[in-house]
Amino acid sequence: MIDLEVPKKFRPLLTQAASLADDMFRPISRKYDLAEHEYPTELDLLSAVLDGMSDSGATQGAGASGSAQVKDPGTAPAGVGSGRNDRLGKPNKNGANLSSVLSIMQTCRGDVGLTLSIPRQGLGNAAIAAVASDEQKERYGNRWAAMAITEPEAGSDSGAIRTTAVKDGDDYILNGEKIYVTAGSRADLVVVWATLDRSLGKQAIKSFVVETSNPGMQLVRLEHKLGIRASDTAAFLLQDCRVPARDLLGDPEIRTEAGFGGVMQTFDNTRPLVAAMACGLTRACLDLTTELLAKEGVVPDVDAPLTTQPYAATRLIQMEADYEAAYLLALRAAWMADNGKPNSMQASMAKAKAGRTCVNVSLACVELAGASGYAETELLEKWARDSKILDIFEGTQQIQLLIVARRLLGLSSSQLK
């Protein structure tokens, strides 16, 4: 039987994350939206707290554990809980992926950019968790890792990456350009995607952990952005950047039958996290708009027909339904990762639904709130600006739908473009 309640062991963590959103992030949200590129020093204390939580066995943030890509003839349940998976007769595990998704939903009710700025909780950490060896995970330890995939001529199509990695003795030499690297200037490490052979396309793509102090990787600029302005977004130039071979993540061999699978497994970890960010921001928009409308006497009644209620109340009820769908999809993708089930399609479903829902809901809430929604007296206009990136990074809406279609139809990337 599927249990959709939050597991008891996660509830203290979520209480702390909710308090963080309300008591720390919300009060400084506008400050760092206006002071773009200024490091939020308040997060240093938070980092120390998170280290203590990690030492005690609790985790929060993007460093979710990897998902074992195993074949399973059964269908994974859509929910989470405790006990056993009765359908398959196997234990039901609620682990780091699920706790990260649930806690990120809470912190992003406060501020997405600040959540992305929490030290040592970068998307690169999730990439390392997904494909690194045990030795690499221990060596990188509790360090902050950003992730560099996008290039000027390779955005949504990760297989079109032009950055090269050439083996030279015990090192690889990387050359290329990376843009839109979240937390790139603040992180200790950057997980860089590069190709070992451009002629082989995506099969030759590998990921490398590069120290930000590496003289071959130059920080070119920090981007000015529409939203998530508290989070730095960097551009790097790699010129004869020498990286030890031991810092290549996953299999160093080019395997044309499934060479891209290792690095793509990174997305199976990070896309549910982005879906969680979108769910958290959506929740914030709905809660504030509901509160503002209630002050004007507009209160939705879920038991009454929609046609008998004011338009604003009807829209809130409809948007709540969209939120619930996105929320459950995110939980399913994380649950599958924790239980060792291939979740690529489910991760893309969650990211696609949550990203689009977040954009639609945030813009609708600005409209419903009228002048309060458009002015800086409330955070709704900021949340609307923040929302768009959640529909873009870690694979655009269109790419997610394409991945889902390929999976459902059983077609390859060359058969369905």
Q: Supply the range of the domain harboring residue 350.
A: 261-409
Band (88; pLDDT cuts 50, 70, 90): low
Contact yes or no for 178/187 (Cβ under 8 A): no
- Whether residue 283 is found in the same domain as residue 399: yes
Q: Give yes or no: residues 153 and 223 share one domain.
A: yes
Fill in the DSSP letter of residue 301.
-
Look at residue 413 in the predicted model and tell me its pLDDT: 83
Q: Same domain, yes or no, for 315 and 332?
A: yes
pLDDT tens string 17-60: 999 999 999 999 999 999 999 999 999 888 776 665 554 444 44
pLDDT at 77: 35
Asked if the structure places residue 152 within a domain, the reply is yes
Instruction: Report strand pairing: 233-244 vs 171-182.
Output: antiparallel
Asked whether residue 414 is assigned to any structural domain, the reply reads no
Same domain, 170 and 78: no
Encode pLDDT of 142-165 as tens digits: 899 999 999 998 877 777 899 999
Which of 101, 136, 171 lies at the terminal end of a domain, its last residue?
136
Higher-confidence residue: 394 or 277? 277
Tell me, yes or no, whether 277 and 312 share the same domain. Answer: yes
- Residues with Cβ < 8 Å from 198, sequence gap 6 or more? 162, 164, 204
Verify that 268 and 403 share a domain, yes or no.
Answer: yes
* Position 303 in a domain: yes
**274 and 378 assigned to the same domain:** yes
CATH number at residue 171: 2.40.110.10
- Say if residue 392 is in the same domain as residue 273: yes
**Nearest CA to 187 among 348, 47, 347, 45?**
47
Looking at 186, 218, 249, the residue that finishes a domain is: 249
- Lowest mean pLDDT: which of 51-65, 240-254, 297-311, 348-362? 51-65
In this structure, is residue 31 part of a structural domain?
Answer: yes
Residue 260 confidence (pLDDT): 57
Do 129 and 145 share a domain, yes or no?
A: no
Assess whether 399 and 265 both reside in one domain.
yes
242 - beta bridge partners?
A: 173
The band of 3, judged by pLDDT with boundaries at 50, 70 and 90, is low
378 is catalytic: no
Query: Of 132-141, 208-217, 272-281, 360-369, where does mean pLDDT reach its minimum?
Result: 132-141
Confirm whether 2 is domain-assigned: no
pLDDT tens across 179-219, in order?
999 999 999 999 999 999 998 888 899 999 999 999 999 99
Nearest Cα residue to 361 out of 273, 297, 300, 281: 281
First CA to last CA distance, the chain? 38
pLDDT at 68 over 90: no
CATH number of residue 380's parent domain: 1.20.140.10
Q: Which long-range contacts (CB under 8 A, 24 or more apart) does 87-91 make?
A: 90/339
The tokens for 389 are: 């990136």
**Distance between CA atoms of residues 383 and 109, nearest Å:** 10
pLDDT mean over 326-332: 97
pLDDT in tens, 223-261: 999 999 999 999 999 999 999 999 999 888 887 655 555
254 domain residue, yes or no: no
Nearest-CA neighbor of 342 among 130, 173, 86? 130
d(C-alpha 122, C-alpha 104), whole Å: 12
Whether 415 is covered by a domain: the verdict is no
Is 145 a domain residue?
Answer: yes
Cα Dmax for the chain: 74
Does residue 132 carry a pLDDT above 80?
yes
* CA–CA dist 51, 53 (Å, integer): 5
Clarify whether residues 23 and 56 are in a common domain.
yes
Instruction: State which of 91, 111, 136 marks the end of a domain.
Output: 136
pTM for the model: 0.90
Q: Within this chain, do residues 283 and 239 fall inside the same structural domain, yes or no? A: no
User: How many other C-beta atoms are found inside a 10 Å radius of the C-beta of residue 252?
Assistant: 12
Strand residue runs (E) in 198-232:
205-211, 217-222
Q: Residue 121 is part of a domain; what is its CATH number?
A: 1.10.540
Least-confidence region, from 40-44, 64-68, 340-344: 64-68
In the chain, the number of structural domains is: 3
Least confident among 155-159, 313-317, 404-408: 155-159
**The pLDDT value given to residue 263:** 66
**What SS3 state is found at 66?**
coil
Token pair belonging to 85: 């998976």
**What's the pLDDT score for residue 78?**
38
Q: Are 245 and 170 a contacting pair, CB within 8 Å?
A: yes
